[in-house]
Amino acid sequence: MSMVQQLYDITLALKNHLQQIPVEEQQDEYISQIHQLLNRRQDLIQQLKGVYTEEERRLGKKIVEYNQEIAGLLQAFTENIQQRFRQVKQSQKVIQQYNRNQSQSQS
């Protein structure tokens, strides 16, 4: 299997993985899989060399299309994590205020 075919397969696997919405309990595993796929892609990209067949050029065009989709999916995932982080911080503030109010009312 050519490097371009391997790169295409990994790129497609990454795109498909990012299209899945992880359950919160499996988020660490989901992120770990993203890192593994990105690292494997990077290794393959660094190994690519010059002359390509017509089929490899066709796959290369698909890879470029998928890269744009992947960038958007990664951005959406990052924004989702940031939103959840803000919600957790807000919840912590509410809990702290509640605890302060409880301790003041008991004094």
Rounded average pLDDT per 10-residue block, the chain, 107 residues = 94 96 88 96 92 94 97 93 90 87 76
pLDDT at site 52: 92
DSSP three-state, residue 23: coil
pLDDT at site 49: 86
pLDDT at site 107: 63
**Interatomic CA distance for residues 90 and 97, integer angstroms:** 11
**Interatomic CA distance for residues 45 and 68, integer angstroms:** 16
pLDDT at site 6: 96
Contacts of 77 (CB under 8 A, 6+ apart): 18
Intra-chain end-to-end CA distance of the chain, in Å: 74
pLDDT at site 56: 94
